[in-house]
Structure 1
Amino acid sequence: MIVHKSQYLTFYAPEHIDGHGAHFVETGISAGFPSVADEFVENRLSLDDTLVKNKETTFYAKVSGQSMVGAGLDDNDLLVIDRSLQPENNKIAVCFLDGEFTVKRLRVDRGEVWLQPENPNYPIIKITDDNDFVIWGIVTNVIKKV
């Protein structure tokens, strides 16, 4: 369910359904030499249970744009955002800035705040008293398509 759509992010509310989840193989998948699985154990895994710590304060948002590619956030990636986490220096945050949502790395030093993109083609944004600015939530995970 879409909660809000802006130029750079589309927000979704997580919908948790008990008893549902994708199949999960606990033995691990070798990224080196193939291994023989003596005991192939299959369970169910809910990504909500794995990626979401605070269900009431967590949202998903789809990235639009290229400003955070250096941090591994690409166009159309799905972000997991927790609004209950405290913002800290160097965290990746979803912010509401002057009427638009954006995702950037927080830089905090001596009471000053900057929003730093992870792409040299985008400018660093210094937050001033003139800005309408709120740190909306902290990115905890990114889900990618391959």
Structure 2
Amino acid sequence: MSLDELAEVRAPHVYLAKILGDSMIGAGIFDKDLIVVDRSRTAEHGEIVVAVLNNSEPICKRLFMMGGGVKLQSEDSAYPSKHILEGDNLVIWGVVNYSLRRHGKA
């Protein structure tokens, strides 16, 4: 099976993004990993997403929806969660389906 088949990388609604930083190490996503993001899926509680908050840089976080509120949580306690407040502009770019890590020499 090819990577294209496994991760549907050639589908128009799927893209790759490179992770910068270690805020998601608890989920097994490390600095410089590639993530496979599906824009066609609706994000659900507890899923890892790529999001933009208030027109900032895209971030990769775990999505929590509780009691009408929304939180984007890092998977490393050194990084604070982002609680979405009234008036914030949150755009979910997609749901992370896979992460890929290079193990050989660059």
State TM-score, norm by structure 2.
0.90
Q: Is the 8 A contact 1:54 1:82 kept in 2?
A: no
Q: What CA distance in whole angstroms lies between the structure 2 residues aligned with 1:107 and 1:121?
A: 18
User: Which 4+ stretches in 1 moved above 2 angstroms?
Assistant: none
Query: Who wins on radius of gyration, i.e. which is larger?
Result: 1
Over the aligned positions, Cα root-mean-square deviation in angstroms equals 1.4
Please, which runs of 5 or more residues in structure 1 have no aligned partner? 1-44
2:58 alignment partner, SS class = strand
Match of 2:77 among 120, 125, 140: 120
Q: How does 1:53-72 map to 2 (within 5 A)?
A: 55-72=11-28
Q: Which amino acid aligns with 1:135?
A: I
Q: Which of structures 1 and 2 has the larger relative contact order (alpha carbons within 8 angstroms, sep 6+)?
A: 2
Equivalent AA in structure 1 for residue 83 of structure 2: K
Partner of residue 96, structure 2: 139
In structure 2, the CA distance between the partners of 1:54 and 1:137, relative to structure 1 (3 Å rule), is farther
One-letter identity of the residue aligned with 2:25: V
- Rounded to whole Å, the distance in 2 between the matches of 1:115 and 1:95 is 9
Q: Give the letter for the 1:84 counterpart.
A: S
Rounded to whole Å, the distance in 2 between the matches of 1:65 and 1:52 is 25
Percent of aligned positions that are identical: 38
Partner of 1:108: 65
Aligned partners of 1:94, 1:111: CA distance in 2, in Å? 20
Instruction: Tell me the SS of whatever aligns to 1:100.
Output: coil
| Alpha-carbon distance in structure 2 between the residues aligned to 1:106 and 1:136 | 12
2:73 matches 1:73 = no
Counterpart code for 2:69 = E
Alpha-carbon offset, residue 53 of structure 1: 7.3
Measure the CA separation in 1 of the matches of 2:58 and 2:11.
21
How far residue 128 of structure 1 moved from its aligned partner, in angstroms, is 1.2
Q: How big is each residue's C-alpha offset from its partner over 1:22-81, in whole Å with a ceiling of 9 and x where there is no partner?
A: xxxxxxxxxxxxxxxxxxxxxxx4211111178010000000001101101100000000
CA deviation map 1:66-121 (0-9, x unaligned): 11011011000000000001110100000011221000000111111000100000
